[in-house]
Amino acid sequence: MDILEEEFDKLRKEIREKTNDLLDIKLRLNETSTKLQEAQVQHVQASNDLLSAENQITTLLRERSVLKNQLKDRSYKLELSSQKATECEFKNTDQQEQIMKLFRSESTLKEELMMTQLKLNQSKVELAAVEEKHNSLKAKFDRTRTVLRIREKELMDCYYAKTSTFCGFEDPNMCGFTNINDTSDYFDWERIKGVTPSAKTGPSKDHTCDGPTGHFMYIEASAKGKGHNAILYSPLYRGVSEQCVDFFYHMYGRHIGTLNVYAQARGDVLRSVWRAYGNQGDVWSNARLAIPKELAMSGYQIVFEGITENGYQGDISIDDVSVTDGPCPVDKKVVAVKVAINTTSLVSEERSLSSATINESKPLSPIVNEIKPLPLAVSEIKPLPTKPLPTVQSENKTRGKKHRKNLRRHSGK
């Protein structure tokens, strides 16, 4: 009897809970109906506004036709007046020529000849000055073209390197992240939303949206062997100061393998900077990488490598990769890992880029005219770390002197 009473009590509780759920659903249904009625009223209002706008358009079209006809009539009258004026000008010109022929004498013709000779001499002097100015402008143009070639190279590097500072993988193109397509790995990272196909492994929701509609990147451990890996490359990042790379990872399941993170400088080899192994629980964990200034200025990529163990419950996921300027925030929960750099490779890469830029003799690429300014904040717009060419130093000194004089005048006032 006690067992039956307990079961009856459980059934009563379940009935109460279901009754409360039904009441909540009914309340939501009423709210939805109210919103639907409001939407219908707005729709009718919008239809009336549309009809009114159509009537106004019809009226404007009629007025346009009337004005167009009036314009045609006035244009025709103007053409007639122009023809008459042209005829009068021709007659006036003929009369002036006849008068000049009557009053012109031999002495006048000689004076005109002397004046013409004088103008010719002046024209020769002006032509010599113009040619000298042309040579000066040509030399300045050559210097400017050389500077533009260097700036074009720097601008293109910055244009392709300055990507979005945050990637939640909601973009179908994965924000520029790419799977490697050679023999370095066995399979690819995949973009997915919701839950992964295998049970008891992988996240149940993404980190960006905190729900089943958001996307993230993961490796599927099913039908994989121990030591099989997948490699994912980030786009090229670049900055003028130290940066912080922040990302979230999910490693849940009995057969979780290893997640390796590498930082690759431009022109250098992969260098391991962070690693996690084994089951970390059904949670999204946070990690940060401190990128030094030298590495940020040379350009770098972040590489994620997932390695499987034996078993299907080994899905590894990443989400919300962000790159921000400045040092990593100090947090008790997350300690930033400082990325070491190879100064020798960075210096050699910088020298090779500089020599390739200076020795470049090709004409400017037409893509310079198509480059649009990046949507940067004012605090992010910083000058490129370049040195002026020797041929432009004298001009820069002259401009600096003029600028200092102007500052003194303003300060004196």
Q: Which of 4-8, 90-94, 189-193, 225-229 has the lowest mean pLDDT?
A: 4-8
Task: Verify that 336 and 190 share a domain, yes or no.
Answer: yes
Task: Verify that 209 and 297 share a domain, yes or no.
Answer: yes
In a domain, 222, yes or no: yes
In a domain, 311, yes or no: yes
Task: Verify that 46 and 188 share a domain, yes or no.
Answer: no
- Tell which of 70, 88, 103 closes a domain: 103
Q: Which of 12-26, 148-162, 202-216, 374-388 has the lowest mean pLDDT?
A: 374-388
Task: Verify that 97 and 233 share a domain, yes or no.
Answer: no
Greater model confidence, 103 or 21:
21
State the average pLDDT over residues 363-372: 34
Greater model confidence, 319 or 159:
319
Q: How many domains does the chain have?
A: 2
- Tell which of 296, 328, 350 closes a domain: 350
Contacts of 150 (CB under 8 A, 6+ apart): 357, 358, 386, 389
Domain span holding position 185: 166-350
Task: Verify that 215 and 346 share a domain, yes or no.
Answer: yes
pLDDT category at 345 given cuts 50, 70, 90 is low
Task: Verify that 345 and 220 share a domain, yes or no.
Answer: yes
In a domain, 253, yes or no: yes
Instruction: Identify any residues that bridge with 307 across adjacent strands, giving them in sequence order.
Output: 229, 258
Asked if residue 279 lies in contact with residue 221, where contact means CB atoms within 8 angstroms, the answer is no
Task: Verify that 210 and 308 share a domain, yes or no.
Answer: yes
Percent of the chain with pLDDT over 70: 80
| Per-residue confidence (pLDDT) for residue 98, from 0 to 100 | 87
Query: Is residue 341's pLDDT more than 60?
Result: yes
Contacts of 324 (CB under 8 A, 6+ apart): 165, 243, 244, 246
State the average pLDDT over residues 369-379: 33
| Per-residue confidence (pLDDT) for residue 348, from 0 to 100 | 54
- Tell which of 87, 103, 119 closes a domain: 103
In a domain, 233, yes or no: yes
Query: Is residue 391's pLDDT more than 50?
Result: no
In a domain, 393, yes or no: no
State the average pLDDT over residues 222-237: 92
| Per-residue confidence (pLDDT) for residue 101, from 0 to 100 | 83
pLDDT category at 396 given cuts 50, 70, 90 is very low
Which has the closest alpha carbon to 152: 403, 410, 370? 370
Q: Which of 29-33, 315-319, 349-353 has the lowest mean pLDDT?
A: 349-353
In a domain, 225, yes or no: yes
Task: Verify that 73 and 183 share a domain, yes or no.
Answer: no
State the average pLDDT over residues 326-337: 88
Task: Verify that 73 and 188 share a domain, yes or no.
Answer: no
Q: Which of 54-68, 188-202, 207-221, 347-361 has the lowest mean pLDDT?
A: 347-361
State the average pLDDT over residues 377-406: 39
pLDDT category at 109 given cuts 50, 70, 90 is confident
Q: What is the pLDDT of residues 266-283, one digit of tens each?
A: 777 888 899 999 999 999
In a domain, 326, yes or no: yes
CATH number at residue 185: 2.60.120.200
Q: What is the pLDDT of residues 10-61, one digit of tens each?
A: 888 889 889 998 999 999 999 999 999 999 999 999 999 999 999 999 999 9
Task: Verify that 53 and 195 share a domain, yes or no.
Answer: no
State the average pLDDT over residues 361-368: 35
Task: Verify that 186 and 317 share a domain, yes or no.
Answer: yes
Distance in angstroms (rounded) separating the CA atoms of residues 221 and 302 = 22
| Per-residue confidence (pLDDT) for residue 343, from 0 to 100 | 59
State the average pLDDT over residues 240-257: 94
